[in-house]
Amino acid sequence: MAVLACLNGETMPADQARVSIWDRGFLFGDAVYEVFRVYRGRLWLEDEHLGRLKRSLAELDFPAHALERLMDRVRRLIVASEIGDGTVYIQITRGVAPRTHAFPDPPVPPTELIVVKPYDDEPTARLRETGVRAITHPDLRWRRRDIKTVNLLGNVLAMEQAKRAGAYEAILVDQDGFVTEATHTSLLWVAGGRVHGTPEGWEILPGTTRNRTLRLVESLGIPFEAVHSPLADVLAADEVILVGTTSEVISITTIDDRVIGSGRPGPMSRRLWDGYRALVERFLAG
């Protein structure tokens, strides 16, 4: 298995890929990205990820991108890498142009990067059995959090504090004291048999795993409520759950040294994890 990159249609070992210092993704963070999970060589939630990528490009007024060609390159790269279980990273920037804040006029060709890497789920699988620790951190990100851009400095700063505290994630809290999401996962919490989460909007990313999990919640007949909740409500929840592309479904058992529920993964997180894995297995059997 090899970590391969496809840069503007050219396949190479990932560590040999190079972009110009004048690329707007490098200079301005003028770029969007997506991360797909690969199971047994197949892309999971492909349509959902591709739809969000298309939306991100449109929201930032990118020129039309050849998405069919992009996905053909993705599939070819997966085959060439011989990776069964892994991730696909896609990044599209506004291209290479003289450094000025306004968009290039006329537009220049975008820079398109695809990277396929193996992913070992075993360490995360062990954490699903025990649950994980999290800290809270002020949400310092820009306001359009619903667009999946490479502008991740707020996420990086929060995650670094989590790492220093020996925690798995940082839960982000806005200036009004309401919980939004985590640095690289979506956040759900359980109270009174009901699943809760921050409403979709500019405050949070429309997570593909979150949306698939919420469809699972609905299919299981579990009530869901989209609500802006203060941190105190989340700390008092019966369960707090992270969902994400590689985390999948994982329980938070401690937040800022406050034990959540019993301090172990609860029945709802286990039920959702079992249901989510069943969906993946059904997909792979199809």
Give the active site residues: 148
- DSSP states along 153-200: HHHHHHHHHHHHTT-SEEEEE-TTSBEEEESSSEEEEEETTEEEEPPS
Structure tokens at 188: 């759900």
Please enumerate in sequence order all residues whose Cβ is within 8 A of that of 204, keeping only pairs 6 or more positions apart, or say none. Answer: 145, 146, 180, 181, 186, 198
3-state secondary structure of 128: helix
- Dihedral sign of CA atoms 189, 191, 193, 198 in order: negative
Token pair 């690289």 is found at: 184
Alpha-carbon dihedral angle through residues 271, 277, 282, 285, given to the nearest 10 degrees: -150
Residue type, 122: E
